[in-house]
Structure 1
Amino acid sequence: MQSWRWGELKTAFGWAVERVHVIHGGAEAFAQVLFRRRGPVSVAYVPRGPAIRGDAGIIFPFLIAALDHRCRERRAVVLILEPDGPLGLGGTYRDAGFVRGPARFQPGRTVIVPLLDDDPLLAGMHQKHRYNIRLATKRGVTVERAEPTDDALATFSELMRDTAGRNGFGIHERAYYDQFMRESGDDAVLVFARAGGEVAAGAMAARFGDRGVYMYGGSSTQHRADGAAFLLQFEAMRWARERGATSYDLWGIPEDDPEIARGVANAVTRSEGDDWRGLYTFKTRFGGEVVRYPLPMERRYHPVIYAVARRFGKVGGA
């Protein structure tokens, strides 16, 4: 989300982008900042960033000074950092001029799978996942890497709508998926799993540096017992490996394990469609490492205006 093309994608959907690069004392830092206008003011957001090389304690104050300048120019009421790992500041958020944000905008945890050769990759999975991948092949499920034509993107968008309606979550508009594929070029793939001549599931995956990422995916209500979703992810991992990635991010699991969340009202078992427990099980059984991201950091320039904006849902991520 700190990649150039992610910024270009967001500019097509109402965000303004500023890219800040500072070097000092043998260290350097980069932050891609997304600005969203909220009336006469704006919100500044750095998703999965900043990126720091060298001594964070040396470079961070210079980075923040540069970010403060950009935020003042764009009348930002708050700057939100949502790092992809510990920044190594050697102190608290407050020492660095930040407070802990009240809510995440990106998933708090994910699963990172090392992209080994096929045999060790399969061996690292839960036996039930290996079984489902082989079951899909046995039942004639096929996976194809599709060109992002209008028809293919329309099919994918319909899968997303079906899945969202079944499970009660929000999705992007069709144009967003189209733009994502255009911006990504050869560093993204659209894959479909077919069973019985019908599209059973679809996914978009991308490569960012040495990491493949499962970005978006959906499935139909038919053929769910054929293991199509398992074979689909396996093929997406193989594509990412071919593109030079050494790991694959399954992009988000629940904040707490199902055993911890059990008993919290509707936190695990939902009345509609798949539940959070199913999502957790599906992703964690591919054999990866569960990674927890740091909490968001907020630098509030205008606390009163910020409080009003958050109360009315005007503070959000990308």
Structure 2
Amino acid sequence: MRFPRNKYTMIQIREIDKKLWNSYAVSERFHTFLHSWNWGEFQKSLGHVVRRLGIFEDSHLLGIALIVTVRARRGTFLFCPHGPFLDIERRDAYEALLSFLRGAAQLDKASFIRLSPITKLSQQSLDFFRLLDFRRAPMHMHTDFSWILDVRNSEDALLHAMRKTTRYSIRKAQKEGVRIVQSCDRAELSAFYKVYALTVKRQHFVPFSEEYISKEFDAFQQDDHIRIFHAYYRDQVLSSAIVVFTANSGFYHHGASTLTFPKIPAAYLLQWEIIRTCRMRGYSWYNFWGIAPENIKHHPWEGTTLFKKGFGGFSEAYVPAQDYVLERKYWLNFAIESFRRWKRGFD
């Protein structure tokens, strides 16, 4: 497919292959799996058009951008999940990419371009996107705040750095005979989804469909980059997690639990075994994924955030999702998403 040439002649944008993509995407600078090759394959399985773009200066690869064309009832838009992987010091490269995306948006009849940057939050980074004529999106697409644990320390050191009650809960679960099983068998998804459905009913959040989770699993399984973890007590699954492995990290992407035995802290031991698995696989980081922003009371993720922080680690805050408006139809999407944000309690 041909796209309009951009005026930034030193910068070239073109689609690249898996080998070149992965050689750049595995950088430890970016704590995400949403820009992996496998995430692109997952998006294709959902029926989206996917472009994997390399941003070049002459023959040097400056960055990459995974672009997904999303066709929703509220309108079509181009979306870059946790990307692009491109230094904001290179404004010329960003402008060239944006020029290319405007051409792609015209071909796809998209009304706006949305970036969900992995750029660390600062006044400088916010000003950067504002000067490129982006505006803050009305709704986050992926987490803007992550909780990350460096797992390169010894197990004793990791346990020592945890909150006292977290450490106690791990040992109690071990003493009570909680058993952790991990699997790459797709058949285990049914057990996960049963617990997940109970979690949704209890916590009242909008769930991912079983088809969505299954297709995500298939996309990462082909490269051995995903595992299902179950915590068993008396032969019942009390807690489950789906963990993605990529970019020298493990990512806690989906979680579920039951209250069948409320005094058995199975979820704590489950997380500890995931941390140990990351270490055994030679990774540097375990990413607990989304947490609530600091100093916001009654956030829907308040309890989950307290749980995750108990294991030790540090937070990373990213620039919130940014929209580049192309057509007036954007404002219908803006109104719908603003209402959804309010309804879900994120205001």
Correspondent of 1:131 among 168, 171, 178: 168
Alignment check: 8 A CA contact 1:206 1:213 kept: yes
Residue 7 of structure 1, aligned match among 31, 40, 50: 40
Deviations 1:5-52 (A, max 9, x none): 111112222422112211126561211111111469511111110001
How far apart in 1 are the matches of 2:95 and 2:240?
44
Q: 1:224 and 1:207 mapped to 2: Cα distance? A: 30
* Cα shift at 1:93: 2.2
Q: Cα gap change, 1:232/1:98 in structure 2, threshold over 3 Å: closer, same or farther? A: same
The structure-2 alpha-carbon separation of the partners of 1:39 and 1:161, relative to structure 1 and needing over 3 Å to count, comes to closer
1:278 paired residue among 303, 310, 320: 303
Structure 2: how far apart are the matches of 1:21 and 1:183?
22
Q: Which amino acid aligns with 2:329?
A: I
Task: Give the deviation of 1:284 after TM superposition.
Answer: 0.9
Does 2:290 match 1:290? no
Among 242, 248, 254, the alignment partner of 1:216 is 254
Residue equivalent to 1:195: 233
Calculate the TM-score normalised by the size of structure 1.
Answer: 0.87
Residue-by-residue CA offset, 1:123-180 (whole Å, 9 max, x unaligned): 1111111100011000000101124242x21111101100000000121222222222
SS at match of 1:251: strand
Give the TM-score normalised by structure 2.
Answer: 0.80
Q: What displacement does 1:89 show?
A: 6.4
**Preserved CA contact (<8 Å) 2:180 2:231:** yes
Per-residue deviation, 1:315: 11
Unaligned runs of 5+ in 2: 1-33, 341-347
Matched residue SS, 1:224: coil
Contact 1:27 1:54 in 2 (8 A): no
Q: 1:230 to 1:160 in 2, by over 3 A?
A: same
Q: Which residue of 2 aligns with 1:35?
A: 69
**Quick one: distance in 2 between partners of 1:199 and 1:102?**
37
Is 2:145–2:290's contact at 8 Å kept on the other side of the alignment?
yes
**Which whole-Å deviations, capped at 9, do the CAs of 1:81-105 have from their partners, x for residues lacking one?**
1111249769532321322223322
Q: Secondary structure at the match of 1:103?
A: coil
Percent of residue pairs identical: 25
Q: Which residue of 1 aligns with 2:332?
A: 308
* C-alpha contact (below 8 Å) 1:187/1:243 kept by paired residues: no
1:206 maps to amino acid: V
Code of the aligned partner of 1:121: L
Whole-angstrom distance in 1 between the partners of 2:257 and 2:72: 35
Quote the residue 2:197 is aligned against.
161
| 2:120 corresponds to 1:100 | no
SS at structure 2 position matched to 1:35? strand
TM-aligned CA deviation for residue 183 of structure 1: 1.4
The alignment status of 1:205 with 2:229, answered yes or no, reads no
- The runs of at least 4 consecutive aligned structure 1 residues that moved more than 6 Å come to 87-90
Partners of 1:138 and 1:75 in 2: how far apart? Answer: 59
SS in 1 for 2:128: coil
1:42 counterpart SS class: strand
CA deviation after TM superposition for structure 1 residue 309, in Å: 2.7
Superposed counterparts of 1:139-288, under 5 Å? 139-150=176-187, 152-185=188-221, 186-257=224-295, 260-261=296-297, 267-268=298-299, 276-288=301-313
Letter in 2 for 1:310: F
> Structure 1 CA distance, aligned partners of 2:109 and 2:148?
37
Contact 2:278–2:286 (Cα < 8 Å) also in 1? yes
Name stretches of at least 5 consecutive residues in structure 1 with no aligned partner: 262-266, 269-274
In structure 2, the partner of 1:271 is none
